[in-house]
């Protein structure tokens, strides 16, 4: 008779690590937008120059998503995540040392390469550590880190800017990645080699691994033969620019239009970015609720997408009002709709 062994829940600790990695990922990403009003005065940037700096990040991020995925498959999640976080943390801190538009563009490009490894590594970690029935929840938890990071940034970055300066804002937020790396290197390993989990938890994690191994694998080229792939690409192509616009230009819009002091924690920006969390949760709840009521899966999700798309339209009215809080409400509705979509 084997001695009783308590069932561990170590996989959820791993999920928390992924959540904080994603929070730091989005925090580092958003620092530039919050510092734009200060940096454009110091370096005399034009809007075109700033857009090139932003584009340097988005271009390398898009390429990196493809490259890092296969790279992490080859070297494993522990080392792959370590390399990703190391690159983006160093790149984030290097922003404090550059003195030209080209330098900021180079730092943003490096940040994009490093940050592109976060989601491929996180999703692969979830696949390694969770049975299928728990992966949606685990993915939702780690993905919520992006919304939390967006909410924390308008509080933390202006505070650092007011206390110290813009260089320190990049240095301090960039250093957070190295703190996370210490925890990752100490506490992470694949389940089969992890000594902190019980046999019963390991059995649960591996409960459908054999079934997955027997499922046919798709090659990359086969994905482009599916209508669903092109629908997803089109959806991201038309909706992601909305979010990136709000991330990189919204702080300077409030600063120039409503004279918002970005050296202090910004309640309007916190409200707007918090709305993304409500939208992400609300969009998932709406489609799930319709499915539970007997709607076809495809029809319920399309209706949720349609409603989410219409929620973005009221932002047109923002240009016709002089009230900052009316603008906050209109933009909050729009970003919530975008997140729900």
Position 135 in a domain? no
Question: Is the same domain home to 121 and 251?
Answer: no
The pLDDT of residue 212 is 54
pLDDT digits (tens, 9 = 90+) for 246-272: 888 899 899 889 988 888 888 999 999
| H-assigned helices in the chain | 10-43, 47-75, 77-94, 101-115, 118-129, 132-163, 166-187, 199-205, 209-214, 220-223, 227-258, 267-292, 297-312, 324-340
* Average pLDDT of the residues in 222-231: 83
Place 214 in a pLDDT band, splitting at 50, 70 and 90: low
Measured in whole angstroms, the distance separating CA 56 from the mean position of its chain's CA atoms is 18
36, 248 in Cβ contact below 8 A?
yes
Give residue 299's domain range.
Answer: 222-341
Task: Look at residue 325 in the predicted model and tell me its pLDDT.
Answer: 95
Residue 41 sits in the same domain as residue 121: yes
Report d(CA 85, CA 173) in Å as an integer: 13
Query: Are residues 275 and 169 located together in one domain of the fold?
Result: no
- Domain membership of residue 275 (yes or no) is yes
Residues 176 and 231 in one domain: no
Inform me whether the pLDDT recorded for 86 exceeds 80: yes
Q: Once rounded to an integer, what is the mean pLDDT over residues 325-338?
A: 93
Ramachandran bin of 44, using left for φ above 0, alpha for ψ from -120 to 50, beta for the remaining angles: left
What are the structure tokens assigned to 138, written together?
């685990």
Say yes or no: 226 and 192 in one domain.
Answer: no
Residue in this structure with the two tokens 């959540």, named with its chain if needed: 19
Note whether 178 and 65 are same-domain residues: yes
Residues 47 and 154 in one domain: yes
Same domain? For 177 and 64 the reply is yes
**Would you say residue 206 lies in a domain?**
no
Same domain, 193 and 330: no
Please check the confidence at residue 218 and state whether its pLDDT lies above 90: no
Dmax over Cα atoms in the chain, in whole Å?
A: 76
Residues in contact with 122: Cβ distance below 8 Å, sequence separation at least 6, in sequence order: 18, 21, 22, 81, 142
Q: Of all residues in the chain, what percent carry a pLDDT higher than 90?
A: 52
Tell me the HSE value of 66 on the side-chain side, using a 13 A CA sphere: 5
Residue 207 in any domain: the answer is no
Backbone angles phi, psi at 250, to 5 degrees: -65, -45
Cβ pair 223, 237 in contact under 8 A:
no
- Model pLDDT, residue 4: 40
CATH label of the domain that carries residue 26 = 1.20.1250.20
| Statement: residue 26 has pLDDT above 70 | yes
pLDDT at 52: 94
Q: What is the pLDDT of residues 35-85, one digit of tens each?
A: 999 999 999 999 999 999 999 999 999 999 888 888 898 999 999 999 999
Contact 58, 244 (CB under 8 A): yes
In angstroms, the Cα distances linking 173 to 95, 269, 290, 293, 314 are: 11, 18, 41, 45, 34
Residue 250 in domain:
yes
Separation between Cα atoms, residue 146 and residue 4, nearest integer Å: 40
Q: Are residues 165 and 226 in the same domain?
A: no
In a domain, 101, yes or no: yes
pLDDT higher than 80, residue 168: yes
How far is Cα 211 from Cα 206, in angstroms, rounded to an integer?
10
Asked whether the predicted pLDDT for residue 5 surpasses 70, the reply is no
- Provide the pLDDT for residue 2: 41
Residue 106 has pLDDT above 50, yes or no: yes
Q: CA 324: distance to chain centroid? A: 27
pTM (predicted TM-score): 0.86
Which tens digit of pLDDT belongs to each residue from 124-146?
999 999 988 888 788 888 888 88
Same domain flag for 257 and 192 = no
**Paired tokens of 168:** 């320190």
Does residue 217 lie within any of the structural domains?
A: no
| Residue 211 within a domain | no
Domain count, the chain: 2
**Is the pLDDT score of 104 beyond 60?**
yes
SS3 134: helix
Q: Both tokens of residue 94?
A: 């290097």
Whether 76 and 118 map to the same domain: the answer is: yes
């Amino acid at each position: 008779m084997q001695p009783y062994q308590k069932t561990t829940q170590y996989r959820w600790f791993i999920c928390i690590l992924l959540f904080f990695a994603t929070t730091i990922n989005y925090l580092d990403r958003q620092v530039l937008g919050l510092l734009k009003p200060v940096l454009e005065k110091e370096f005399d940037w034009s809007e075109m120059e700033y857009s090139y700096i932003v584009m340097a990040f988005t271009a390398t991020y898009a390429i990196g998503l493809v490259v890092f995925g296969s790279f992490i498959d080859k070297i494993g999640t522990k080392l792959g995540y370590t390399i990703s976080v190391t690159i983006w943390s160093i790149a984030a801190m290097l922003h404090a040392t550059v003195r030209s538009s080209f330098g900021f563009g180079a730092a943003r490009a490096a940040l994009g390469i490093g940050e592109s490894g976060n989601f491929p590594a996180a999703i692969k970690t979830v696949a390694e550590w969770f049975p299928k029935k728990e992966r949606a929840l685990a993915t939702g938890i780690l993905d919520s880190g992006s919304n939390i990071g967006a909410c924390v940034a308008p509080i933390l970055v202006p505070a650092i800017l007011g206390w110290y300066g813009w260089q320190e804002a990049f240095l301090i937020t960039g250093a957070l990645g190295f703190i996370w790396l210490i925890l990752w290197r100490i506490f992470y390993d694949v389940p089969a080699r992890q000594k902190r989990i019980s046999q019963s938890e390991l059995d649960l994690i591996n409960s459908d691994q054999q079934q997955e191994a027997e499922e046919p694998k798709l090659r990359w080229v086969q994905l482009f033969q599916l209508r669903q792939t092109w629908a997803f690409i089109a959806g991201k192509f038309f909706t992601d620019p909305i979010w990136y616009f709000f991330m990189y230009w919204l702080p300077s819009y409030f600063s120039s239009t409503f004279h918002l002091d970005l050296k202090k924690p910004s309640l309007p920006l916190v409200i707007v970015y918090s709305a993304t969390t409500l939208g992400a949760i609300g969009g998932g709840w709406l489609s799930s609720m319709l499915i539970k009521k007997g709607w076809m899966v495809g029809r319920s999700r399309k209706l949720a997408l349609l409603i989410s798309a219409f929620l973005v339209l009221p932002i047109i009215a923002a240009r016709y009002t002089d009230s900052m809080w009316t603008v906050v409400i209109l933009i909050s509705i729009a970003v919530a709709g975008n997140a729900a979509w």
